[in-house]
A and B are shown apart, each in its own frame.
Chain A
């Protein structure tokens, strides 16, 4: 029986109190004044995570955990080899759903760090510290955050470390809207999965074009075709949640041949 896990952060008061940000090249804080650097609370985030959790459970799926606010920790996603505890949480479930703040983490404008409202053990987690799948459970991770998958350059180098059996990362190319119009994104995503959409199509439909959905998947040599990929045959295009259609097998890190990026440009 596949398991899923949910984590969502609406308020960032503890983060603002203990951290600094940059405005016009100047360091501001700590504390960060409300809103400076974009550090606002994210109203409706819990509507989104509740919607995903409740819809999946109502359909008979099993939640392994659902953490909110200060109970969402950096070690939940950080690879065990790097000092985290991902095998108990994000890498302990087939699908991990996270909603909160993130920012571009790498100098070339790619990669991402997600941000927490507690310091266990750090205030943020860089995607450079993630490695999911393999001997553990994760097949899909879905993050309703800003610019998680901003594919500019060096896609392979910036993201390949995440995949070791993980099938697909779901995120956003740009800035998902935070407001009542988007409060049902989680419910829509879960409903699409249950109805039998491929996981990536479920995400794209749920977010809609306004929220610049994006996805990244690990692929094998059979679809690469010497640099002219068969995008329609890829894992990204065909991978379903368990018992909802075809689920592609795990692909260990050493057998990944290419990464399929798909997005709606904002």
Chain B
């Protein structure tokens, strides 16, 4: 099911053409497998983090079927997710709170490198695999009946995106997220799935048009097939890369996909994101396509 609307957008967008050309030049990418993180190993790493970052306070733990959580009375948490190996650290008295002098991405990256490097908390073998992705800010303001205060900048929110063999990772499992208060990391989400080279043949990559032509209704819902608007949708962003799923998902392989972000302008101005496979490797659908659940409409 090809979308003429989507193709029109692509043909009129320089970013999309640039992505397509880069993919065409590459042609193939390796099929990478994801290494299992043993449950005990992750739990041990979570404990090590709590010792390093707890500064002498005791952490109490609970282990659920899919995650381990350690916390202390100072509002610090360390969590590990068994399915993905995702590890998080939160100092909740300082995350989304306090203030920071950090205003630019270079400084944010330097703060992150100093903090994680100093405590030896980078993921193993991760040197050179993260690049700055974006920087945003958490802000506050107070308002009473007569005035509004100045805006306070609590935190700088830095994302570093992973790359492997110069191919970016995309999706919710692609990033290392750092929340900076003052010049410290007070929130940290480490999506880091260890990869293993396989003996499988390289994956043939589809260009954008071929990928869209092959994509079926699981990927391209009525937004792209039934859109009847007189104004064009806007292509907010288009990315290509290895797709990494969320922290609750056990992922066996790392496979390429396109990620489209589209804005439908108007009264409600929706922004929708769609993931389209960039290869026909077996198992791709299982990994990158979330089933769209039906609406049971219980009787009221």
Contacts and interface: CB of A to CB of B under 8 A. Distances in A.
A103 interface: yes
Contacts of A178: 270-273
A156 B144 contact: yes
Contacts of B261: 177, 179
A180 B273 contact: yes
Contacts of A11: 295
Interface string B289-300: 110111111111
Interface residues of B, number: 73
B240 interface: no
A136 interface: no
Nearest to A118: B300
B270 A46 contact: no
A204 B159 CA distance: 15
A91 B267 CA distance: 28
B92 A201 contact: yes
Contact of B222 (A34, A37, A229, A262): A34
Interface in B261-278: 261, 263-275
Interface string A53-71: 0000000000000111111
Interface stretch (A125-133, A162-170, A252-260): A252-260
A160 B144 CA distance: 9
Contacts of A197: 77, 90, 92
A184 B274 CA distance: 15
Contact of B267 (A38, A156, A181, A229): A38
Interface in B233-289: 233, 246, 248, 259, 261, 263-275, 288-289
Contact of B300 (A38, A43, A71, A209): A71
A40 B223 contact: yes
Nearest to A214: B139
B144 A43 contact: no
Interface in B117-174: 134, 136-145, 147-149, 152, 154, 157, 159, 171-172
B143 A259 contact: yes
B222 A182 contact: no
A231 to B, nearest CB: 5
Interface in A216-257: 219, 224, 227-229, 231-232, 237, 257
A38 B265 contact: yes
Interface in A172-186: 175-184
Nearest to B224: A35
B54 interface: no
Interface string A34-55: 1111111111101100100000
Given A67-B300, A69-B297, A175-B270, A232 B229 contact: no
A259 B142 contact: yes
A138 interface: no
B124 to A, nearest CB: 25
B212 interface: no
Interface string B192-208: 00000000000000000
Nearest to A50: B293
Contacts of A260: 140, 142
Contacts of A116: none
A187 interface: yes
Interface in A128-152: 146-147, 151
A interface: dominant SS: mixed
Contacts of A196: 71, 77
Contacts of A263: 138-139
Interface stretch (B11-19, B37-45, B94-102): B94-102
Pick from A43, A146, A160 the residue with the most CB of B within 10 Å. Answer: A43
A264 interface: yes
Contact of B297 (A40, A70, A259): A70
B56 interface: no
A51 B289 CA distance: 17
A8 to B, nearest CB: 8
Given A23-B231, A197-B90, A264 B137 contact: yes
B48 interface: no
Interface of A: 10-11, 21-24, 33-44, 46-47, 50, 66-71, 101-103, 115, 146-147, 151, 155-157, 160, 175-184, 187, 191, 195-198, 200-201, 204-205, 208-209, 219, 224, 227-229, 231-232, 237, 257-266
Given A35-B223, A146-B268, 11 more contacts: A21-B266, A44-B292, A68-B295, A69-B295, A71-B297, A179-B272, A196-B71, A200-B96, A228-B149, A231-B97, A257-B144
13 contacts: A11-B295, A34-B222, A39-B267, A46-B294, A71-B298, A146-B269, A181-B246, A204-B96, A205-B95, A229-B142, A261-B141, A265-B137, A266-B136
